[in-house]
Amino acid sequence: MSTKKNDIESDAISVQQCRAARAMLGWSQGDLAEAAAVSRTTIVDFERSIRIPHRNNLAAIRRAFETAGIEFLAENGGGAGLRFARRSDQT
């Protein structure tokens, strides 16, 4: 069973953010599935807007991106976004 949109909180990412983050990293759907330890079907269904993953899977997807260096940006009236995170060793 999938999680409803209203139930998703801070771990939420949009389909567009998921696709964009994969593109930024040069990852296939299979690469993301492996990094997040979820099934490829979970990624495919999410990106096709067939279903929203369970909260724990959505959190794992987001963590995989963040671990790979993607930073998710809050909507703040200008639209949600993402970018490469600053590395802590940069000045």
Q: For residue 81, is it left (φ>0), alpha (ψ between -120 and 50) or beta?
A: beta
Of 1-10, 50-59, 81-90, where does mean pLDDT reach its minimum? 1-10
Residue 46: closest CA among 32, 27, 64: 32
Its pTM stands at: 0.81
Please write down the long-range contacts of 72-79, taking CB distance under 8 Å and 24 or more positions apart.
72/13, 72/17
Q: For the chain, list the domains and their CATH numbers.
A: 12-84 (1.10.260.40)
Q: How does pLDDT run across 54-74, given as a tens digit for each residue?
A: 999 999 999 999 999 999 987
Q: How far apart are CA 52 and CA 5, in angstroms?
A: 7
